[in-house]
């Protein structure tokens, strides 16, 4: 599945228990998914504040938490714009296919396909 192929077919909804297990030992995954949601304008203000606080606590930095995370993880400065373009493209594809692509599902897919090398589980 390529970067713009999120809506190639219907996906099964993620079960809550799978979602919880998804983040066990992978705290960076939550930040990356929140990053995607923030970049596309779909992160609630309270979660934005939590993400900013967690980023600053773990990685330091002041001000824009997304900038801190991009710099720490060596992600390009154009990432936000790329994510917005991907979101718009995939929203159009979803609409044409008669399906709904939730922002959270988009964020999970982006993280899985593009940041897997960054989100290995932490050792126990």
pLDDT for position 20: 64
This prediction has a pTM of: 0.80
Alpha helix locations (H) across 24-118? Answer: 27-39, 45-59, 65-73, 79-97, 103-114
Cβ-Cβ contacts under 8 Å for 27 (sequence gap 6 or more): 122
Name the residue among 1, 24, 30, 3 with its Cα closest to residue 89.
Answer: 3
Mean pLDDT value across the chain:
84
Q: Using pLDDT thresholds of 50, 70 and 90, give the confidence band for residue 118.
A: confident
Extract the tokens encoding 24: 């066990």
The 10s digit of each residue's pLDDT in 50-59 is 999 999 999 9
The 10s digit of each residue's pLDDT in 27-36 is 899 999 999 9
Angle formed by the axes of helices 27-39 and 103-114, to 10°?
Answer: 120
């Amino acid at each position: 599945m390529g970067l713009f192929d999120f809506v190639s077919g219907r996906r099964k909804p993620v079960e809550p228990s799978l979602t919880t297990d998804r983040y066990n030992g992978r705290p960076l995954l939550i930040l990356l998914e929140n990053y995607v949601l923030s970049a596309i304008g779909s992160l609630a203000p309270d979660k934005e504040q939590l993400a900013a606080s967690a980023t600053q606590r773990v990685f330091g930095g002041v001000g824009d938490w997304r900038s801190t995370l991009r710099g720490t993880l060596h992600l390009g400065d154009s990432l936000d714009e790329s994510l917005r373009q991907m979101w718009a493209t995939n929203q159009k594809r979803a609409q044409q296919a008669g399906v709904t692509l939730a922002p959270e599902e988009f964020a999970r897919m982006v993280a899985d396909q593009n940041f897997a090398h960054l989100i290995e589980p932490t050792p126990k």
